[in-house]
Amino acid sequence: MIEISNLFKQYGEQPLFNGLNLEVEKGNIVVLIGPSGSGKSTLLRCINGLECFQKGCISVDGQKRYGVNEQSYNKTDEDSMVKDIRRKVGMVFQQFNLFPHMTVLNNITESPVRVLGIGRAEAEATAISLLQKVHLEEKAQNYPAQLSGGEQQRVAIARALAMKPEAMLFDEPTSSLDPEMIEEVLLVIKDLVSEGMTTIIATHEMGFARDVSTHVIFLEKGNIVERGSPKKMFSNPKNKRTKIFLSRFMK
């Protein structure tokens, strides 16, 4: 579903990714862990076309984006490709980014109607169904300011799902929430991934990572230090740095 080949990314003279490779098969739930600044969010933003990269290739369901320094790079093709990829890959951010002047229902239906050309009645029916999925159907006519942080993030998840994506990216979806609101968002994501949606999640919630993932990737300074099954990574990691990072979670 998603393949990253020889990815090089730098900011000015500061390198981040130096030839990173990663494959995510359809239906897998890959969790990215690692210290702050390790490249988790940037990797997701590269996949979704929010960040350019210098070299390498990112393929999403067969659609290939190339680094700006690659011979195969073409700006016109890139812009068209990014639009197609964003239709296939939903993304939920640390900040909820809801439209404050729109109701919850309109926040969810706006993109399906304008981008996908779905009729308003069908879009609203889908939105109500998604609000039921995230346990917020009674909030359809509320505005974002009337919701808690956890509720706003659950609306953001419903909004992403309304575009009928084939894969989902979650960029530390609970990092802006108060502790008591984190669990309600994690439960919604657990329900989603249990349905077989191809998913990549960057998170600092290690218990959640262990419970939901099919694969765990430990990143540090833009490098994949270690990867493996959650059982292997949380019970018997091989790399010393991984062991130190996960030491308080290992049994």
CA-based nearest residue to 163, from 92, 94, 97: 92
pLDDT in tens, 118-150: 999 999 999 999 999 999 999 999 999 999 999
Confidence class of residue 180 from pLDDT cuts 50, 70 and 90? confident
Question: Where do runs of H (alpha helix) occur along 101-219?
Answer: 104-114, 120-133, 149-161, 179-193, 206-212
pLDDT in tens, 159-176: 999 999 999 999 999 988
Checking if the pLDDT of 251 tops 60, the result is: no
Q: Which domains does the chain have, with CATH numbers?
A: 2-99+166-246 (3.40.50.300)
Confidence class of residue 248 from pLDDT cuts 50, 70 and 90? confident
Tokens representing 204?
């600092």
End-to-end CA distance of the chain: 33
- What pLDDT sits at residue 250? 61
Tokens representing 217?
């990737």
Task: Tell me which H or E stretch contains 217.
Answer: strand 215-220
Rounded to whole angstroms, how far apart are CA atoms 103 and 110? 10
| Cβ–Cβ under 8 Å, residues 211 and 190 | yes
| Cβ–Cβ under 8 Å, residues 52 and 93 | no
pTM of the predicted model, to two decimals? Answer: 0.93
Q: How far is CA 107 from CA 161, 163, 214, 221, in A?
A: 12, 12, 32, 36
- What average pLDDT does this structure show over 6-17? 92
Q: What is the mean pLDDT of the chain?
A: 93
pLDDT in tens, 190-230: 988 888 899 999 999 999 999 999 999 999 999 999 999 99
- What pLDDT sits at residue 95? 86
**Residue 5 CB neighbour total at 10 angstroms:** 16
Report the range of poorest mean pLDDT among 31-35, 81-85, 145-149, 154-158: 81-85
- What average pLDDT does this structure show over 68-92? 91
Sign of the alpha-carbon torsion through 233, 234, 236, 238: positive
| Cβ–Cβ under 8 Å, residues 174 and 205 | yes
